Structure formats: structure tokens, C-alpha cells
């Protein structure tokens, strides 16, 4: 696949592919050792589109163990706006041309790559070479080969790697995993998961450009449905078959619009997922031998809601998933806590995505999945 360079991306950024700017940072926290003042880890956001603007940056005001220390953007106007709102010093502001100089900046501990998918590998590898820990937004890359390259670069540089799977830090996800693990409703028989929305925006947006996105709904929303299918069963799938549908070919000229897929598992359970850029879907339901439980909505920024066949609700106080996610990674770096979304998880999901595309290419033929040795479930 031909990838866009940072120079091409800078031109795209200045022509409106990415969102506007927002607000504030705090460098110190009462921290990890009860009452001891501890320097927060500095995070640099690479790419100031809508997700950085409206989710990650505001979340970094709420985090306990990390803060927004720097930015990387190809848009001069954003440099000034973000510097003013978040008190970011000029020395912590980079563009796509001088990004590698971040290696000399001790204020930056973590680089969070929030660029179009085809640029994830390039900037994640460069961040690792600069000696910075890496959060790579999902999907981890546009191929298994690129996932391997990112992981190898982080291992060689002895830096930590996480994928931007916010749902892995959400308490609702932990509750689902607990139900499955403890067999609260018996053995899991069937899981249904939908992760979809209707795209009505600019047909030239990067998510509809395969050179930038690597794929359509599957690589955008579908990774949520893949993950809920897995932790809804409690093990990795052994095979997948898939189908693709398009009802707006004039709009979805280059990327997949709607995909359905079916998984099998060693324990006898099956799962069905749907993902789309032309339908609304936001639900997880797990059918078990002694009842069921569901989240509806299941994948959005919250609040999430759940209920069970016992008549009770699943409910937790709303928290920023992004703040929880970034604090989890900071604790992993600082304290050796579990990495809840390691690179191996991103690679596993890309193996599954490639198998789904292969099944579609081969008329829905079942594709085997050899994931048993990866050691990553959830």
C-alpha cells in the first residue's frame, strides 16, 4: 500500500481534514506514592484532529499521572491556539518535519500518535527511536507486517507500547470480563456485537480514503466489535467468515461500508459482529446457559448502560475513558502495572481484520485463525 508522507499529510491538515483546538495543562500531581508529589509523565499528541481536540486533550486535564506537555502539528494556527490554551512552551511544539528532535526533549515521556492509520507505523517507530514510550491510536497499523515493525522498534529502544483501546480501561468492560470469567450467567453460548455509525460528512475525508485509512468501517469501528466478541466469550476465536455490503457505492467509493462476520471459538461459543459507516449500531449482548447480559450503548464515549436477565442494571459513575486509558499506561510505565492494551493486542486484531478481508475476497469462505500462542485475550 502506498502511504502518505508527513509532508503530504501537512498539506491535508491545512486544508481542513482535521478539527479545531481546545484547552489547559498541569505538570505536577499528588501522585503515585500516597501524598508524595510526583512529576506527571509528559504526553505529546501527534496530530491535532477532532479526537485529540475534543477527547484526548480535555482528558489530559483530568489525568492523575500524565499531562499534555507537547504537540506535533502541521498547522501554524493550531500551534498558537494550543500553546495558549494548554500553556505549552514553544520548545515543546513540533511539526512533522522536525519531529525527530523530540528525542532531545526531557519534558516528553510519551508520544501519542493520533494520525491517519497509514501513518501510525512511521511515527510510532520514529517515536520509539527517539526514546519515547508510545501510544498508537487504533487500529495499530494497516497491516500485520507494520504491527510487527512497531513492536520490534519499541523492543529495540526499550520503550513501552500501548494501543489506544480506550474501552479496555472502562469499568463496564471489566464487569463484562468478570461475568464471563466467573460464569455469573453460566457458560457463554452466543455473543452479538454492533459498532457502527452513519457517515454524512465530507466524502473526501481521510477515513474514506484507503491510502490513508487502510480500510473502512472495519478498521475504524469494527475493532470495537472484534474486541467485544473476544472478551464477551473469554478467549480468542479459532475461525472467521465475513460478508460485505454496500448501499451507497457513490459515497463509499474506496472503502468498506458495512461488514458482518461470524467467529467460532474452542469452547463451542459463536459470535456475530456488524460494523458500518452507513448504519447505527452500538450494542453488546452475551447469551449464556443461565441468562444474558448486555451493554446498550456499548462502545461510545459514555455514559454506557447495561442490564441483565436478572433484572438488574449495570451502572458505574461516568469517567473519561481516555483519561482512564492514559493513566493506565502511565501506571504501567511508572509502577510496572499491567499493560491493558499492549502491542500484541493490536497485532492480534489486525490478524483478524486481514482474515475478515480475506474471507470477503473469497466469497465468505471461513478463514482459520491461529491466535492461541499470542497469549492475549480481551
User: With 90 as the cut, is the pLDDT of residue 95 above it?
Assistant: yes
Instruction: Give, in degrees to the nearest 5, the angle at Cα 210 between 205 and 211.
Output: 95
CB atoms within 10 A of CB 24: 15
Can you tell me the distance from the alpha carbon of 306 to that of 308, in angstroms, rounded to the nearest whole number? 7
pLDDT interval class at 262 (50, 70, 90): very high
User: With 90 as the cut, is the pLDDT of residue 290 above it?
Assistant: yes
> What is the tens place of the pLDDT at every residue in 97-114?
999 999 999 999 999 999
> What is the tens place of the pLDDT at every residue in 216-235?
999 999 999 999 999 999 99
Grid coordinates in use for 244? 460485505
User: With 70 as the cut, is the pLDDT of residue 310 above it?
Assistant: yes
Q: Can you give the pLDDT at residue 373? A: 63
Q: Can you give the pLDDT at residue 15? A: 36
User: With 50 as the cut, is the pLDDT of residue 35 above it?
Assistant: no
Name the residue with higher pLDDT: 36 or 56.
56
Grid coordinates in use for 183? 460464569
pLDDT interval class at 374 (50, 70, 90): low
- pTM: predicted TM-score of the whole model, two decimal places: 0.91
Tell me the Ramachandran region of residue 315: left when phi exceeds 0, alpha when psi lies from -120 to 50, beta otherwise. Answer: beta
User: With 90 as the cut, is the pLDDT of residue 62 above it?
Assistant: yes
What percent of the chain has a predicted confidence (pLDDT) above 70? 89
Mean pLDDT, range 119-141, rounded to an integer: 98
Instruction: Return the DSSP state at 378.
Output: -
Q: What is the CATH number of domain 6-163?
A: 3.40.50.720
Q: State the architecture of 168-317+344-368 in CATH terms.
A: 2-Layer Sandwich (3.30)
Which value, in Å, is the radius of gyration of the alpha carbons in the chain?
Answer: 20
Residue 297: C-alpha distances to residues 181, 195, 283, 362 (Å):
22, 10, 5, 33
Q: Can you give the pLDDT at residue 4? A: 43
Tell me the Ramachandran region of residue 16: left when phi exceeds 0, alpha when psi lies from -120 to 50, beta otherwise. Answer: left
Mean pLDDT, range 72-96, rounded to an integer: 97
Contact 180, 172 (CB under 8 A): no
Mean pLDDT, range 42-53, rounded to an integer: 98
Closest CA to 10 of 55, 77, 88, 57: 77
Q: Can you give the pLDDT at residue 372? A: 72
Mean pLDDT, range 363-374, rounded to an integer: 89
Q: Which residues contact 29 (CB under 8 A, 6 or more apart)?
A: 37, 38, 40, 64, 65, 67
Q: Domain residue spans in the chain?
A: 6-163, 168-317+344-368
Q: Can you give the pLDDT at residue 32? A: 47
Compute the mean pLDDT over every residue in the chain, rounded to the nearest whole number: 91
Mean pLDDT, range 277-290, rounded to an integer: 98
Closest CA to 177 of 286, 270, 275: 286
Can you tell me the distance from the alpha carbon of 71 to that of 92, in angstroms, rounded to the nearest whole number? 7
Amino acid at each position: 500500500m502506498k502511504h502518505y508522507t508527513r509532508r503530504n499529510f501537512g498539506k491535508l491538515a491545512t486544508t481542513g481534514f482535521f478539527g479545531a483546538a481546545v484547552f489547559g495543562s498541569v505538570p505536577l500531581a499528588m501522585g503515585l506514592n500516597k501524598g508524595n508529589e510526583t512529576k506527571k509523565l509528559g504526553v505529546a499528541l501527534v496530530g491535532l484532529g477532532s479526537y485529540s481536540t475534543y477527547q484526548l486533550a480535555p482528558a489530559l486535564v483530568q489525568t492523575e499521572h500524565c499531562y499534555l506537555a507537547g504537540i506535533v502539528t502541521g498547522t501554524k494556527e493550531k500551534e498558537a491556539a494550543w500553546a495558549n490554551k494548554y500553556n505549552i512552551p514553544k520548545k515543546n511544539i513540533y511539526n512533522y518535519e522536525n519531529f525527530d528532535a523530540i528525542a532531545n526533549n526531557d519534558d516528553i515521556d510519551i508520544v501519542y500518535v493520533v494520525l491517519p492509520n497509514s501513518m501510525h507505523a512511521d511515527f510510532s517507530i520514529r517515536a520509539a527511536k527517539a526514546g519515547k514510550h508510545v501510544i498508537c491510536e487504533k487500529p495499530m497499523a494497516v497491516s500485520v507486517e507494520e504491527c510487527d515493525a512497531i513492536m520490534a522498534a519499541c523492543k529495540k529502544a526499550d520503550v513501552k507500547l500501548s494501543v489506544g483501546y480506550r474501552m479496555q480501561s472502562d469499568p463496564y468492560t471489566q464487569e463484562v470480563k468478570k461475568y464471563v470469567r466467573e460464569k455469573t450467567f453460566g457458560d457463554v453460548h452466543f455473543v452479538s456485537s454492533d459498532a457502527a455509525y452513519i457517515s454524512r460528512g465530507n466524502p473526501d475525508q481521510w477515513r474514506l480514503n484507503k491510502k490513508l485509512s487502510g480500510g473502512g468501517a472495519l478498521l475504524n469501528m469494527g475493532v470495537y466489535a472484534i474486541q467485544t466478541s473476544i472478551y464477551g466469550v473469554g478467549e480468542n476465536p479459532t475461525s472467521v467468515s465475513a460478508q460485505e455490503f454496500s448501499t451507497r457505492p457513490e459515497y463509499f467509493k474506496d472503502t468498506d461500508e458495512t461488514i458482518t462476520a461470524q467467529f467460532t471459538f474452542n469452547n463451542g461459543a459463536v459470535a456475530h459482529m456488524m460494523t458500518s459507516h452507513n448504519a447505527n449500531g452500538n450494542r453488546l449482548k452475551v447469551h449464556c446457559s443461565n441468562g444474558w447480559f448486555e451493554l446498550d450503548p456499548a462502545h461510545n464515549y459514555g455514559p454506557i448502560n447495561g442490564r441483565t436477565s436478572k433484572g438488574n442494571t449495570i451502572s458505574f459513575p461516568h469517567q473519561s475513558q481516555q483519561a482512564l486509558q492514559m493513566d493506565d499506561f502511565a501506571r504501567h510505565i511508572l509502577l510496572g502495572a499491567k499493560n491493558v492494551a499492549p502491542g500484541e493486542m493490536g497485532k492480534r486484531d489486525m490478524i483478524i481484520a486481514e482474515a475478515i478481508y480475506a474471507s470477503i475476497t473469497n466469497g465468505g469462505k471461513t478463514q482459520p485463525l491461529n491466535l492461541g500462542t499470542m497469549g492475549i485475550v480481551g
